[in-house]
Amino acid sequence: DGEVYKYYADGEWRASASGKTVAIVNPTTRQTQYRVQACTQEEVNKVMEAAKVAQKAWARTPLWKRAELLHKAAAILKEHKTPIAECLVKEIAKPAKDAVSEVVRSGDLVSYTAEEGVRILGEGKLLVSDSFPGNERNKYCLSSKVPLGVVLAIPPFNYPVNLAVSKIGPALIAGNALVLKPPTQGAVAALHMVHCFHLAGFPKGLIGCVTGKGSEIGDFLTMHPGVNCISFTGGDTGIAISKKAGMVPLQMELGGKDACIVLEDADLDLVAANIVKGGFSYSGQRCTAVKVVLIMEAVADAVVEKVNAKLGKLTVGTPEDNSDITPVVTESSANFIEGLVIDAKEKGATFCQEYKREGNLIWPLLLDHVRPDMRIAWEEPFGPVLPVIRINSVEEGIHHCNASNFGLQGCVFTRDINKAIMISDAMESGTVQINSAPARGPDHFPFQGLKDSGIGSQGITNSINMMTKVKSTVINLP
Ligand code: G3H
């Protein structure tokens, strides 16, 4: 049961010598949809070796040629949007339209990366010595950006294609090789995406894609001596990786508890629209989803009413039907969400809708009058359930936001721009959106988390820079 897919090594599609596969369960049907290879450590070693060899030649390939191949891959990716989107629908229950958007956005991201790369990597620096005390003008320092070597990319299930290419594109344009370990749910979509890079004609071995159980090859990959950089997006695993990884640059984005602070003077229709979009699109399974609403008491009833009216209009069903709310990715995820909901119920939260679940499908739920002793006030459900905490001062809202161990994004709704800026300054999050829900894109914007939300900054330009190091040559005149 389940169509079997091969992994990608040295420019070829291969079956693992393990003879074993990993099942990908369709979140909607809860049946095995596909199977991917359970790669062995020996196979990981081979992929790493091939990447190391291929990278040396790739680093010497002219930048414009690297860009040309990336543009080609981007175009092929867009041409293949339908079959790739179909995998996203079957593997991660992403609504069909959003699945297509993910692939198109990915093609655009790769093209932009190629353009940005030729500009920023085409520039170097010249320094002269006599600006530092005691020096004559006899030393000229030429510096430029050089690749790191082999980049290991580990994207999450919620954007298996987009958050893979946001690592692959920058790595390749900067002259690195790339080893991809896709998430299990989303692995087949990722393999299709890798196939587009294969069709574009990248050199053999430069890109490798290994699949398998994290428990068998996860640590082996992240601690592998052949890895020169790790770019990871996901959950707590990232904290464990950062403790075990060697002395290599790490780029990590590990989720959030994005707060939405609503002031009395806000445009309440705009607020309600953004809470619904921010909290419930892709059933809340986005690291940038609104995960806690902090509303001034005076407008709380009005906002809750408006949000409830909109939630009542959301469609709940299958991703094939383009339902707004679709099954969450796994049964264990649904169980976790349910645990948070039950805890809040027991501690006295008001349920604005009836809690309903069928299999992995959870109906949208707004929880009002949530208090700090409830788990849902702090934990990330990654599902279509959203807590509302009523506040009596802006300071209370900022305090709740800053007491979180996360600090990815946040948003504030007010018509007073001065207040908005002051609140943004006070919020300990990587990005604060004024009068809009949190979002990573446009993809060239910097994207970063504070505290447990991550290390480093992403976004196309930042990722290219992060995947390079500075190399200097000093000319010493007599
Ligand atoms: O899930 C994490 C993603 O980086 C969020 O991206 O804001 O485009 O949904 P998004």
Torsion of CA 446, 449, 454, 458, to 10 degrees: -10
CA distance 186 to 141: 46
Whether 287 lines ligand 1, by a CB cut-off of 6 Å, is yes
Contacting residues for 370 by C-beta, under 8 A, at least 6 apart:
292, 344, 349, 376, 377, 387, 388, 389
Instruction: List pLDDT tens digits, range 183-199.
Output: 999 999 999 999 999 99
Average pLDDT taken over every residue of the chain: 98
Query: Distance between CA 445 and CA 441 in Å, rounded?
Result: 6
Among 440, 443, 460, say which to mutate for ligand 1: greatest number of ligand atoms within 8 Å of CB.
440
The yes-or-no verdict on residue 1 having pLDDT over 90 is no
Rounded to the nearest angstrom, the distance between the alpha carbon of 163 and the centre of ligand 1 is 8
Q: How far apart are the first and last CA of the chain?
A: 74
pLDDT tier, 348 (very low <50, low <70, confident <90, very high otherwise): very high
Q: Alpha-carbon distance 114 to 69, whole Å?
A: 9
Least Cα distance to 145 among 190, 175, 107 occurs for: 175
Helices (H), 253-411: 268-280, 297-311, 331-346, 394-403
Sort residue 246 into left (φ over 0), alpha (ψ -120 to 50) or beta. Answer: beta
163, 165, 382, 445, best to mutate for ligand 1 pocket (most atoms within 8 Å of CB): 163
DSSP single-letter state for residue 133 = T
CB 50 within 8 A of CB 9: yes
Give the model confidence (pLDDT) of 251-289 as tens digits. 999 999 999 999 999 999 999 999 999 999 999 999 999
Helix H or strand E segment including 462: helix 460-466
Report the nearest atom of ligand 1 relative to the CA of 158: 1
User: Could you identify the residue written with the tokens 């039907």?
Assistant: 321
CA of 288 to the centre of ligand 1 (A): 5
- Percent of the chain at pLDDT exceeding 70: 100
CB burial class (10 A; 0-12, 13-18, 19+) of residue 126?
exposed
Catalytic site positions: 253, 287
| Cβ of residue 158 lying under 6 Å from some atom of ligand 1 | yes
User: What is the reported pLDDT for 215?
Assistant: 86
What is the average per-residue pLDDT within 38-55? 98
Residue identifier of the C-alpha nearest atom 6 of ligand 1 = 440
Amino acid at 57: A
Angle at 201 between CA 199 and CA 203, to 5 degrees: 135
Dump pLDDT digits (tens) for 144-190: 999 999 999 999 999 999 999 999 999 999 999 999 999 999 999 99
What is the reported pTM? 0.98
pLDDT tens digits, residue range 380-395?
A: 999 999 999 999 999 9
- Best CA proximity match to 39, nearest among 176, 139, 181: 181
